[in-house]
Structure 1
Amino acid sequence: MTSSPLLPPTAEAACAASSAVELLEVLWGRGREVSAAPVSPSQLRVLFVLEHQEGINLRTLAEAMESTPPSVSRLCDRLQAVGFLERAPCPSSRRELVLRLTRRGAAYLADLRARRERELHKVVAAMPPADRAALLAGLTSFCAAAAAEALPPAGDASLDASRTA
């Protein structure tokens, strides 16, 4: 992408990131299409959330997904049916269930990531070395900024309270 005198640098960078995301979605789609048990993007998001917040309840998952508990429950039903998720009694409350990835679900994510990385490796390998170094530096900074924006601070009381609720 060439520099545009009409856009401020932050807008130009945001446009470039948007284009990159769209191309990444194409590459990501290739990884899901060859799967033995393909999952929808929403189901995949459930798996990612559970991978990072093992043992949360349905309400907390719905909040993380910015959805409703009935919608998220249906996603979980489908994931449980293919063996990627399990519901277990909550140790602190008999009325609640906790959600966990199964070994099969974790293996699916590992396999998906490996396929995605192979696709990305092909693209990155075609880049000149200086551009690869710049990409690494830029993505490292981008990930840090995105994580600060998208993820609650460690020890966030609202998240901790919702995990026990």
Structure 2
Amino acid sequence: MVTSSGPRPHPNEVARVTAEAAELLEILWGRASTAPVSASQLRVMFILEHDEGINLRTLADALGSTPPSTSRLCDRLQAVGYVERAPSDVSRRELRLFLSPRGRTFLAELRERREHAVEAVLEQMPAAGRAALVEGLSAFCAAASAQLQEGDAVDVRSA
């Protein structure tokens, strides 16, 4: 364990451990069923939750996919009642995408199941380890958020 007075781990080591933790989280979260949606559909839902009202092309870009493939994902999500489409105020040909109330409820319940899976692991950790984890993850989230915002600013300038 690295303490505030102990050696400072190199970013490569931290990246390796973080990747390992992310993989373990995926396994834990995989135990919390995402049925009736696939991993790709779940990603669509997360994007729509954070960028409500985007159009299909913007969603496809965010997924690194094509509009026809993305449209099929949204068709399936709409069929189960998780996504709604609405005409754009700007163009009659463009549709805006939204999570439905049912979709929001699904995500809330999924997050709750995932949190319970993580809580079971955290309960096995010593309190000092949990405190260090909160501190480290808070710093990581702040740095990642700043980098993402910086990347968005660069994307806007280069457009």
TM > 0.5 fold call: yes
- In 1: Cα distance, 2:26 partner to 2:132 partner: 22
- In 1: Cα distance, 2:30 partner to 2:102 partner: 20
| Residue in structure 2 matched with residue 103 of structure 1 by the alignment | 101
| Residue in structure 2 matched with residue 66 of structure 1 by the alignment | 64
Query: SS state of the match for residue 56, structure 1?
Result: coil
Amino acid at match of 1:27: L
| Residue in structure 2 matched with residue 78 of structure 1 by the alignment | 76
Matched-pair identity in %:
59
Q: Does 1:145 align with 2:146?
A: no
Query: Paired residue for 2:54, among 48, 53, 56?
Result: 56
TM-aligned CA deviation for residue 88 of structure 1: 1.0
Amino acid at match of 2:15: A
Query: SS state of the match for residue 93, structure 1?
Result: coil
Structure 1: 5+ residue runs without aligned partners? 3-7
Within 5 Å, give how 1:25-40 maps onto structure 2.
25-31=26-32, 33=33, 35=34, 37-40=35-38
Query: SS state of the match for residue 92, structure 2?
Result: strand
TM-aligned CA deviation for residue 152 of structure 1: 6.0
TM-aligned CA deviation for residue 151 of structure 1: 4.9
Aligned length: 152
TM-aligned CA deviation for residue 12 of structure 1: 0.7
Amino acid at match of 1:66: G
Structure 2: 5+ residue runs without aligned partners? 3-8
Q: Does 1:20 align with 2:21?
A: yes
- Structure 1 length normalisation: TM-score? 0.83
